[in-house]
């Protein structure tokens, strides 16, 4: 039997598409405050948004009629016809945000327009107005969302820890605050101020939000055409990090995620960064809204360009131009300095008389006379012919080694142990080759060490027997609010593997000890790398938090390809590897070793 759902159930279902967690409400409320023309916006959070999300702005406010209508479904002041969807330049426009919030939380709205003497207070529960009265309030709007999912306990149970939810809130706050540096923003959480951002330039806002270490590391990007404009900043190559760091794209001031445009940025930095490094960028693309479809994803963070190839090429060219202007990319200078142009050697002709005088000089004679140690042969700039056969043989030899290594890694694995009877060799300073009885095994030393360390960290955490190496001189780690929330979320698991970290301020931590075996002096970079990896890859695998941490630490501490090992070190690595529970695969799914049986080796050489 088909029936029409009651409004309160339909509203709750619709809310699931808009309000997934407290950060979803933060995004919607901040964007509405921006659209209201506010010059000052305050975000107040309690219990990571589960108890309270409140946004207070000094915008134009709402009339009594609009205040009543704003919580209704499909209510918006920004769209009156279908054509308006293709000319949108405001942030919030769907007409679902406040209705969705009112469907899953208790709402208190206070608002007043400048032309009115009094404002209005409205209280909403289960999508219905339960209280309404006039109120004395400043011009603007204050909207408080209380007790999120109070009427849907099952959905509330799916919320993450307070630290995790707070991190998402700070991410949304950061995106909106970056997009509008002319607006003053503040963020208070549990009665503590995390941010107080004064109105200023984009560069000032980037430094305020992303850290003072970027103050001297930003390169301005500014290009304009009839089709689009790009503006913003990229980080200098020496500020790049090994994992995806602070990277932001905005289209018409709306934050977006685009792997396609990220690829354009990486191409612009080609040859300036190691392959595993990523630069900072905060880039704004402005173009006609008709050239962009912002309705391809419910969160509006994924969009579609009418001609994405033009945008790609323009982003890449603009960044290259910016880097060249700041002498970061290599350039050729074809213009001589004016003072050089006036030298006699440039101005006066080189006559036959001058040539004769030079050839009779001692300097010329010494460099041209035979049997002189510094004589330069006329054809010395040409490559020696006798070297060519050697070069081609060496190239073929190296190629064969690589092909054989690839062939070995594709075959079935066969366990072995490192005893004194085996012979071990290191190939290309990256792979360990050992033979035993009738087998030959090739090991990826980095993948092997990652597996060993990962199982060691997991075991230490399970047994609670991690050994801590106290720091003689404890260091202080200062983070932005988002990273501080994430580190706080990881503290218990970091302690379980041997770290000793004490929170001393809202965004400052003292590192008092590190796991035994870790190199002193690198604890800050280790923790920063862990945080960066969590910010951008924590959803790649559905694993418990402690397992992700152990993977991350194993990756950082493992021997890298290219590390030279002694025979004793290679044999110890082999012994430790085959003592692991799963020696055949690294924690990241990379095969650790492959073994060839004698008949397989003979088969490889059967065609000789």
What share of the chain in percent tops pLDDT 90? 42
Question: Is pLDDT above 80 for 543?
Answer: no
Please tell me whether residues 107 and 67 are part of one structural domain. yes
CA–CA distance, 446 with 554 (Å, rounded to integer): 10
Question: Is pLDDT above 50 for 341?
Answer: no
Please tell me whether residues 285 and 165 are part of one structural domain. no
Which range marks the domain in which residue 251 is found?
202-325
Considering the domain boundaries, does residue 68 fall inside one?
A: yes
| pLDDT tens-place string over residues 573-593 | 999 999 999 999 999 889 999
The last residue of one of the domains, among 307, 325, 343, is: 325
Question: Is pLDDT above 60 for 540?
Answer: no
Q: What is the mean pLDDT of residues 364-390?
A: 46
Please tell me whether residues 185 and 284 are part of one structural domain. no
Please tell me whether residues 418 and 540 are part of one structural domain. yes
Residue with tokens 């694993």: 543
How would residue 250 be classed by pLDDT, with cut points 50, 70 and 90? very high
Considering the domain boundaries, does residue 498 fall inside one?
A: yes
pLDDT of residue 410: 38
Comparing C-alpha atoms, which of 553, 551, 602, 572 is closest to residue 432? 572
CA–CA distance, 566 with 335 (Å, rounded to integer): 53
**Regarding predicted confidence, which is higher, 457 or 87?**
457
Question: Is pLDDT above 70 for 348?
Answer: no
| pLDDT tens-place string over residues 554-566 | 988 899 889 999 9
Question: Is pLDDT above 80 for 29?
Answer: yes
Query: Quick one: tokens of 443?
Result: 């090991």
pLDDT of residue 106: 94
Q: Which of 93-107, 148-162, 181-195, 539-553 has the highest mean pLDDT?
A: 181-195
Please tell me whether residues 93 and 141 are part of one structural domain. yes
CA–CA distance, 520 with 513 (Å, rounded to integer): 9
Please tell me whether residues 221 and 185 are part of one structural domain. no
Question: Is pLDDT above 70 for 392?
Answer: no
Please tell me whether residues 456 and 547 are part of one structural domain. yes
| pLDDT tens-place string over residues 64-100 | 999 988 887 655 555 445 454 555 556 654 446 788 8
Considering the domain boundaries, does residue 385 fall inside one?
A: no
Q: What is the mean pLDDT of residues 564-575?
A: 94
pLDDT of residue 518: 85
Please tell me whether residues 422 and 546 are part of one structural domain. yes
Considering the domain boundaries, does residue 386 fall inside one?
A: no
Query: Quick one: tokens of 478?
Result: 């200062």
Please tell me whether residues 89 and 171 are part of one structural domain. yes
The last residue of one of the domains, among 325, 353, 369, is: 325
Query: Quick one: tokens of 56?
Result: 């207070």
Considering the domain boundaries, does residue 399 fall inside one?
A: no
pTM above 0.85, yes or no: no
Please give the angle made by the CA atoms of 379, 380 and 384, to the nearest 5 degrees: 95
- Distances from the Cα of 101 to the Cα of 23, 34, 354, 386, angstroms: 12, 18, 90, 80
Considering the domain boundaries, does residue 261 fall inside one?
A: yes
pLDDT of residue 355: 60
For residue 458, the domain's CATH number is 3.30.1370.100
Question: Is pLDDT above 50 for 389?
Answer: no
Comparing C-alpha atoms, which of 48, 137, 112 is closest to residue 485? 48
CA–CA distance, 469 with 520 (Å, rounded to integer): 9
CA–CA distance, 120 with 133 (Å, rounded to integer): 6
pLDDT of residue 360: 62
pLDDT of residue 269: 92
pLDDT of residue 15: 54
Q: Which of 220-224, 359-363, 400-404, 496-500 has the lowest mean pLDDT?
A: 400-404
Query: Quick one: tokens of 263?
Result: 């690829």
Please tell me whether residues 81 and 230 are part of one structural domain. no
Please tell me whether residues 220 and 263 are part of one structural domain. yes
Evaluate whether 490 touches 534 at the Cβ level (below 8 Å): yes
CA–CA distance, 56 with 188 (Å, rounded to integer): 12
pLDDT of residue 331: 44
CA–CA distance, 55 with 25 (Å, rounded to integer): 10
How would residue 387 be classed by pLDDT, with cut points 50, 70 and 90? very low
pLDDT of residue 356: 65
CA–CA distance, 240 with 275 (Å, rounded to integer): 11
Evaluate whether 197 touches 185 at the Cβ level (below 8 Å): yes
Q: Which of 410-424, 480-494, 581-595 has the lowest mean pLDDT?
A: 410-424
Evaluate whether 148 touches 104 at the Cβ level (below 8 Å): yes
**Mapping DSSP to helix (H, G, I), strand (E, B) and coil, where does residue 470 land?**
strand
The last residue of one of the domains, among 286, 307, 325, is: 325
Considering the domain boundaries, does residue 162 fall inside one?
A: yes
For residue 224, the domain's CATH number is 3.30.230.10
**Regarding predicted confidence, which is higher, 364 or 482?**
482
Considering the domain boundaries, does residue 308 fall inside one?
A: yes
Question: Is pLDDT above 60 for 217?
Answer: yes
The tally of domains found in the chain comes to 3
**Regarding predicted confidence, which is higher, 530 or 374?**
530
Q: Which of 50-59, 124-133, 174-183, 377-386 has the lowest mean pLDDT?
A: 377-386
How would residue 486 be classed by pLDDT, with cut points 50, 70 and 90? confident
Q: What is the mean pLDDT of residues 486-504?
A: 90
For residue 77, the domain's CATH number is 3.30.565.10
Dihedral sign (CA 187, 191, 194, 195): positive
Report helix, strand and coil shares of the chain as percent, to nearest 5.
40, 25, 40
Question: Is pLDDT above 50 for 339?
Answer: no
Q: What is the mean pLDDT of residues 258-262?
A: 90
Question: Is pLDDT above 50 for 417?
Answer: no
Question: Is pLDDT above 80 for 186?
Answer: yes
For the chain, give the mean pLDDT. Answer: 80
Question: Is pLDDT above 60 for 272?
Answer: yes
Please tell me whether residues 159 and 214 are part of one structural domain. no
Question: Is pLDDT above 50 for 328?
Answer: yes
CA–CA distance, 73 with 288 (Å, rounded to integer): 29
Q: Which of 73-87, 338-352, 405-419 has the lowest mean pLDDT?
A: 405-419
CA–CA distance, 140 with 40 (Å, rounded to integer): 10
């Amino acid at each position: 039997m088909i029936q029409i759902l009651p409004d309160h159930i339909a509203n709750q279902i619709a809310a699931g598409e808009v309000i997934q967690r407290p950060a979803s409400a933060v995004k919607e409320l901040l964007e509405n405050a921006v659209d209201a023309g506010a010059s000052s916006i305050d975000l107040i959070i309690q219990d990571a948004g589960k108890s309270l999300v409140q946004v207070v702005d000094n915008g134009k406010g709402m009339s009594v009629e609009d205040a009543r209508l704003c919580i209704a479904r499909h209510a918006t002041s920004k769209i009156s016809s279908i054509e308006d969807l293709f000319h949108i330049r405001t942030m919030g426009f769907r007409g679902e945000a406040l209705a969705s919030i009112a469907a899953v939380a208790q709402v208190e709205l206070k608002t007043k327009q400048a032309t009115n003497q009094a404002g209005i207070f409205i209280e909403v529960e289960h999508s219905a107005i339960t209280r309404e009265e006039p109120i004395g309030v400043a011009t603007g709007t204050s909207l408080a969302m209380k007790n999120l999912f109070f009427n849907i306990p099952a959905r509330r149970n799916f919320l993450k820890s307070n630290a995790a939810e707070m991190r998402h809130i700070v991410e949304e706050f950061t995106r909106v605050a970056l997009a509008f540096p002319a607006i003053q923003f503040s963020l208070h959480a549990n009665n503590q101020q995390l941010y107080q951002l004064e109105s200023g330039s984009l560069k000032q806002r980037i430094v305020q939000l992303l850290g003072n270490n970027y103050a001297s590391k930003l390169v301005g990007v500014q290009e304009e055409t009839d089709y689009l404009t790009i503006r913003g900043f990229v980080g200098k190559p020496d500020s790049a990090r090994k994992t995806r760091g602070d990277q932001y794209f905005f289209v018409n001031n709306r934050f977006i995620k685009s792997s396609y445009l990220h690829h354009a940025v990486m191409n612009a930095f080609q040859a300036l960064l190691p392959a595993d490094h990523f630069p900072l960028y905060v880039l704004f693309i402005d173009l006609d809204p008709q050239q962009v479809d912002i309705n391809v994803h419910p969160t509006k963070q994924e969009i579609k360009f009418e001609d994405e190839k033009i945008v790609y090429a323009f982003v890449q060219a603009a960044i290259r131009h910016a880097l060249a202007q700041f002498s970061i990319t290599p350039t050729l200078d074809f213009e001589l300095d004016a003072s050089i142009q006036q030298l006699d050697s440039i101005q006066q002709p080189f006559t036959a008389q001058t040539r004769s005088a030079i050839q009779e000089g001692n300097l010329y004679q010494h460099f041209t006379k035979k049997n002189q140690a510094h004589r330069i042969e006329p054809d010395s700039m040409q490559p020696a012919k006798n070297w060519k056969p050697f070069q081609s043989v060496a190239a073929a030899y190296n190629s064969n080694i690589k092909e054989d290594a690839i062939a070995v890694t594709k075959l079935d694995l066969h366990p072995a142990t490192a005893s004194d009877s085996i012979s071990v060799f290191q190939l290309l300073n990256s792979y360990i080759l050992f033979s035993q009885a009738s087998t030959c095994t090739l090991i990826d030393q980095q993948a092997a060490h990652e597996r060993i360390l990962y199982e060691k960290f997991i075991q230490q955490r399970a047994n609670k027997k991690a050994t801590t190496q106290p720091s003689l001189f404890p260091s202080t780690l200062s983070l932005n609010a988002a990273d501080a929330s994430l580190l706080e979320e990881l503290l218990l698991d970091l302690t379980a593997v041997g770290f000793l970290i004490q929170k001393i301020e809202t965004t400052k931590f003292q590192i008092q000890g590190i796991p035994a075996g870790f190199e002193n002096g690198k604890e800050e970079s280790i923790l920063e790398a862990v945080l960066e990896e969590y910010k951008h890859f924590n959803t790649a695998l559905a694993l418990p938090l402690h397992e992700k941490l152990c993977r991350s630490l194993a990756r950082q501490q493992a021997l890298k390809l290219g590390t030279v090992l002694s025979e004793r070190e290679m044999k110890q690595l082999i012994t430790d590897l085959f003592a692991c529970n799963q020696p055949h695969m690294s924690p990241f799914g990379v095969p650790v070793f492959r073994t060839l049986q004698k008949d397989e080796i003979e088969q490889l050489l059967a065609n000789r």
